[in-house]
Structure formats: C-alpha cells, structure tokens
Structure 1
C-alpha cells in the first residue's frame, strides 16, 4: 500500500508583502486591465462619489437653492474640485481609515469632504466660508443618489475612454485585413462541408460589419442618473425648501454631470440602462468569439500561417514544429467569462425588492471584472490578427480539389435556361446530385458534363470558363458596404 505524503507547512501567502493578487486581472494580466483602474476600481468609485458630492454642493450654493447659504468664489470652487483632481494615495488611505470607523463607504466619502472643507483656510486664508458648510455636504441625498451617479460616470468613462476605443481599433484592424484580402478566393464551408466559394476578405468583412453595428449601439448608450432622495419623491427636499423646483434642479444637475436624467425611480436608479449596455457588450463579445473560432479554424486548415515573432509567444512546449493559436484560444476563454458576468449583471440589476435592496451593490463591484476580461480578449485578438500571414496558395489547392462546388452554378444556369424555353434541361438538381454527391469531380469531368447539357452557346461558354477560384460572385464588390 502506497503511503500518502503529508502536506508541507506552506508559507502563508496571504501574509506576503506587498499583498499578492488573488485574481489574474490584478496579476498575470494586469497590464491589459490597467486602463480600467481609472474608472472601475474601488478607488475610482470613491473618487467619483467625491466628485458628485462636490458638484452637488457647488450646484446648490451657486444656484442659490438654499435660503441664507452663501455663494462660492471662483477660488473656493477650484479648491473644492481639487479634492477630486488631487485624489490619490493619501486620500485613498485616509478613506480606508474613516470607513473602518463608519462601516459605510458613502459616509466615509462625506466625512473626507468635510475634512477638506475644514482645511480650506490653509490654502484660501481665514476669510473662506468653506469650513462653515458642513451641513450642506450630502444634504437631501441618500447614498444611492451619490452611488448611481458615480457608477454612471465611471461606466461611461470606462466605455467611452477605454473599452470602445480598443474595440473600435480591433474592428478597423479587421476591416483593413478584409480589404487587403478582398479578392483572395477561398473555399467556403457550410456545416463544415465544401460550399460555394467566397473570398477571405468578404468573410472577414461580415464579422467586421457585425462588430461595427454593435459598437454604434454602444456609442449611443444613454447613461442615466437621478438625485431625488430616499424613495424618489423629493420629500425631504420639498419639506425643507418648498419654493424650489426640485425636478428641474435635479435634471439640470444630472445633465451638468454629462448624464441623462431619469425622472421616475424608487430609492435606486433602476439600472435598466446598465442592463441594456451590458447586453450590447456581451453581444459584441459573442461576435468576437465567432471571430476567434473562425480564425482558429482557418489556421487549422492552413489558410493562415502564424508569424511566431509577431505573436510574441512560444509554440508547443514539447512539439517544436507547432505554433499554437493561443491568442485566439485565450480570447475565447476571456470572452466567455466576460459574457457570463455581463449576463448576470444585466439580468439581476433590473430587479430590486420594492423600493430598495442591496443586491446591486455587490453585483456592480463586478462590472470591472466583466470589462477587464473583454479587454484582455480584445488585446489577444488584436495581437493574434497582427501575427497572421495569408496562405493564398493553400486556399487555391483546396479550391482546385473541389470542383463539385460548381454544381450549384450549373444547376441554376440550367434552370434559368429552361425558364427561357430551352428544351432538355429537366431535373437539374437531380442530375447534378447524381454527378457530385459523395464523389470527387475534377475539372475535366465537370467540363465534360457541361458539354453534354445542350445549353445555349453563350451560357455554356460562361460555365466552361468558370473555376472554383473564380466562382465568387460579387464577394469583392460587397466590401464597399463595409463602413469604417
């Protein structure tokens, strides 16, 4: 009986300094995910919360919404906004200390802003009114008033400044590859079987066109926000300052932030816009997944060769002849993870029990992970496409081995000639099926068959001149419909 080996006494990796990453996006793949940190990290969320708090305070005072409250000087406004623009390591550390006491993340941001107000005389002099404005901070706001706007700002920034430019660059890279190969003939495969030839460029253009349509939808996303109190009624606002037009003020403030106002909510902004966006991004991911699997298949068929230097990777660890299509396989896996997260975000964020529950709070903290996996996939796809060399000769060999694909052209020419009154062209499908199904037909065999049909001379000449490589219809011309 084999004696089991006891587990060694491992070093506690959780205690290693600096702290080790738990997941790949903060470790192995941090470089690809790093641009999202400015928008979708916990620190970025707190900075956006601080931005909303600061802008709300400035908005209320400089629009003289609160009777008896002072207006702010330009220097005071600039000082307040510096709390956001200077937000960095020191403020992040201080927030952690405050939250350890408050056990409430939004309250910690509120207290951090109050500390900034208290310190204003050191910068602005003793005449500043800012230290007296503690009670204006977070006035009329529930936490969700701050959170929904902060998330909207951050998701908007992540999509518009990071994800969309990366996705658009890939789409344009793919569109250029399509244009460069617009007239390279290729055997098509439907159901995995040899089918009517296409061009490589046309097939890539289909994917580029699909991706482009989705990016236009995402570019048109509305990022909604609200600031209407504990249950969406402006109740505290109206009781405290009944003379103010609170819905109009709320709309103006939300639009001031660059967002679209949602006038009807419970305590939370309903997150429908998020669900719509994540569904669109997930659909784009799935088209990218289709791109990855198609290119992987073309590589396996020899239609693409991989440039090892451009791929920036080693091939098989044991079989030196291989160059594995790892960029496309990595992209597949990360797109699947991203879609899974985006799907659950889209399906759960639209529901909240009655006026409020906190399921969305935990859910939204995974937005960053969903986009990070998509970013990693985009990076792999771009690097993978850049490392491909087209093997037109290999495609030509496949085309020349599949003359039976001309059966469709011959059948349709027989049909149209018969409709025009030519006799002896009955049962074209059945006759071509007998010739081609389950059999290889070479060039001579196909031409001999054409010669027996009794077609009009002009039609026969056109078919006799046809080859699998030239039977691509308007494939090249169709690329004119591919927009950048």
Structure 2
C-alpha cells in the first residue's frame, strides 16, 4: 500500500482511496486547474474567432493546435508551475493566466496576442464555468450511474421477493402483512423519482464580468453585443446560460442539486435502517465470506457493516451538502469569498455519497431472504387478521365491530382457533364466514404482488 494512503488525514484519500478514484479525476486541485485552463483557452478561441470585429490577426490551424496541446498535454509539472506562481500572486486564477501567457510566449504569433488571454474576465467568470463543467461531469460519469445501479438492484429484488409474505411492523409492533418485494418497491419508487428530478436540474453558468454588466467589454468594444456573445459561449459548453447575476453565478442550481441528492441519500438511510432491522430479526441472512471476521472476540458474528457504513457516510455527505444548500446562495452585495472554500468541498460531499453507494450495493448482494423465519412470524401473529374481520363486520353494519375485535385481540396471544371461533359466531352470511376463514396471515397481503408487477414494469 502506498504510504500516502496511510498518512492522509481524510479517509476519502486514505482508507477509501480506491472507491473515490473516479471523483479524483474531476475534483482534485490538479483537475480543477485543468478545467479552469480549459475555460480560459475556450474563451481565447472565442475571442480570436471575432478577429475581424476586434481587429486582431487571424491565426492559423497550427496555432490552434498549439493552443489545444497546452490543454491536452497539461501535466503535474504544469500544475506545480502554476502553484508556484500563486505563491507570489496569492491569486489562483491570475497565476493560471500568467502560466498561459508563458506558454504563449513560445509562439511568436500567439505571444503578440497574449493580452487577449482572460480578456474582460473576472476570476469568477472562469471559476463558475469550471465548477459547472466539473459538476456536470461528476453527475454524468459517477453519480447518475451509481443511482441507476441502485435503482436497478432495488427493482430486481422487489420482483424477486414479490411473493415473500412478511409481517409488517408499524410502531415496531405486528401489523397488516406485506411482502418483502413490496417493501423494496417502495424504496425503488422513491429513489427513482429523485433520479428523474436530478436529471432535469439545469446546470447554470455566467460570463459577464465583474458585476454582471459587461462593463469592461463595453469600454473596449462598445458596438459588440456582449450579452449575445456570453450566451453563445455558455451554451456552446452545453450549460444553461444565466443572464442575470452579480460578479458570481449565485449557485442556486447547486443548492437544488444538493437538495435532490440529499433527499436521495436520506431515502437510502431509511432503507439501510430497515434492512439492518430485518437482518436483526433474521428476515435476512447474510452470505458468509470465509476469510472475513465479524468480531475480534465473537467468532459467530456476521455484522451488517455495509449498511452501517453506508448510513454513516450518507450522513456525512448530507451534513456537508445541507451546509452548502444554506450557504452557497448567499453572497454579500455583489461578491464575497465565503463561497470559495465551500465550493472546493463539493467533491468531498459527493465522495462520501460514493463511498456509501458502494457499501449499500455490496451489502444488498450479501443478503439471502429467510422465508422460514418470515412464515414463522406470520403464523405467530393471527391477531393481525382482526383488521380484515372488523372491516367485513362493518360492511354488515354490526355495531362496535372494532371494539369487539379489540377486546378479543389487544395485548393477547391469539391462535387460528380463536380467530375461527370468533368468525363462526358472527351474524354474517356463511359465504362471508368461509371467505374470512380462508384468510391467513400469510395470504392477507392485499394487492402487494399486483403493485410490484405493475410498478416494476
């Protein structure tokens, strides 16, 4: 193992290094520099396409290739070069601009045009687009694929367990039966809604100068419609153009995104706790892996650690995201820097989610339903049929139907014989008595199977 994994402060970069590797290529400091470099280069290329209007030289294909290679060949050495400049400037985007000018100095033609690097920009023009692109890539490449896999697994087990009748628990007490498949379906339906919602959230970006009014652009080229140029530039990146901002894009879309992800995570916390409980009740057994150890002193144990790990990391992720939801849409007047350090932790918040998603998928794969225990608990709880009996009694306008069943069953151990004797003495048609006597805790599952079949299509 690399020694740096053992010395990292954050478990994201240590213990869970492999699990968060996909996000490292998006949210690391190196990657952040590269995304910002991409924006600077694309803006420069946008400017030089306007060479006739702004009266600069037209550049050749070889010059475009030279510029593109600065980005394509961007290396750790380049990143260190930028960071060394930043030590002097104490400004990260200005350091990036100076780096790009240094690269341009190696081309005579580009060197003569280097003042059009970062032309008219405020740092936030570069940063907000870089973050938008990073977020877009993280959603498309990491988060949504994980969500899709989780949704697929929940759907799979809702179908596989659709006939596995189970004693439901309301307030932790025996209640009207369901099926394990229907319980999985409930979570499938909930997380799927958030999946569709997240996909619809627009990722916004702005490019309009220091206070959002194109002041510097108008000073230099008053006859150009910079508002249209801004829209063209943003939409060319497959982002949604925000036409009305201060110096910063207000981050409302990030709050919307984190609200959706946080709710998805909260639903999974609910799922983790339910499965943890079902394992405790022996409704699920966990597949034993020979080389694993459940306890340092109790050899018999197989702990539900995957669901516990998932719950803990989802909580950490949500804590960070909820802070960002409350913080990021707020900025003093036209700009303050309190958002800057918070934005740098977007990758951290998403990393805790990714760790949790890995754990929940790993945990589900180890589950093996224990139908014997499910049936035992159902057959030990005939009192749950009191709901059905008193409802049929109401159908025939039998007074105090509920109260009669309450007296028979509440707080008591009730057998099949007790239930059938009660039914036999009811003043209802014999056909209804026969129907009620066919109901058992195992088959009293309503439309649960039908719901799974319909909603899992």
TM-score by length of 2: 0.96
Q: Alignment partner for residue 458 of structure 1, among 431, 435, 452?
A: 431
Inter-partner Cα distance in structure 2 for 1:244 and 1:169: 48
Aligned residue runs from structure 1 range 3-18, under 5 A: none
Give 1:393 shift.
0.8
Q: Is 2:159–2:456's contact at 8 Å kept on the other side of the alignment?
A: no
**Alignment CA distance shift 1:248-1:173 (3 Å):** same
Inter-partner Cα distance in structure 2 for 1:260 and 1:90: 33
Q: Is 1:152–1:259's contact at 8 Å kept on the other side of the alignment?
A: yes
Give the match for residue 119 of structure 1.
106
Residue 477 in 1 paired to residue 450 in 2? yes
Give 1:332 shift.
0.8
Residue 325 in 1 paired to residue 304 in 2? yes
Residue 83 in 1 paired to residue 70 in 2? yes
Aligned residue runs from structure 1 range 70-469, under 5 A: 70-120=57-107, 129-309=109-289, 313-418=292-397, 425-469=398-442
SS in 1 for 2:12: helix
Inter-partner Cα distance in structure 1 for 2:364 and 2:52: 56
- Structure 2 unpaired stretches of 5+: none
SS in 2 for 1:309: coil
Q: RMSD of the TM alignment (CA)? A: 1.6
Give 1:94 shift.
1.7
Q: Is 1:58–1:72's contact at 8 Å kept on the other side of the alignment?
A: no
Inter-partner Cα distance in structure 2 for 1:435 and 1:71: 93
Inter-partner Cα distance in structure 2 for 1:78 and 1:168: 38
**Alignment CA distance shift 1:66-1:360 (3 Å):** farther
Inter-partner Cα distance in structure 2 for 1:369 and 1:239: 41
SS in 1 for 2:368: strand
SS in 2 for 1:25: coil
Deviates more, 1:87-96 or 1:319-328: 87-96
Q: Is 2:174–2:384's contact at 8 Å kept on the other side of the alignment?
A: yes
Give 1:168 shift.
1.4
Give the match for residue 43 of structure 1.
30
Q: Is 2:26–2:134's contact at 8 Å kept on the other side of the alignment?
A: yes
User: How many pairs align?
Assistant: 455
Q: Is 1:411–1:428's contact at 8 Å kept on the other side of the alignment?
A: yes
Give 1:369 shift.
0.9
TM-score by length of 1: 0.91
Q: Deviations over 1:30-59 (max 9, x none)?
A: 111111011112111111100100000001
Q: Is 1:330–1:380's contact at 8 Å kept on the other side of the alignment?
A: yes
Deviates more, 1:87-96 or 1:297-306: 87-96
- Structure 1 unpaired stretches of 5+: 1-15, 121-127, 419-424
Inter-partner Cα distance in structure 1 for 2:299 and 2:63: 67
Residue 33 in 1 paired to residue 20 in 2? yes
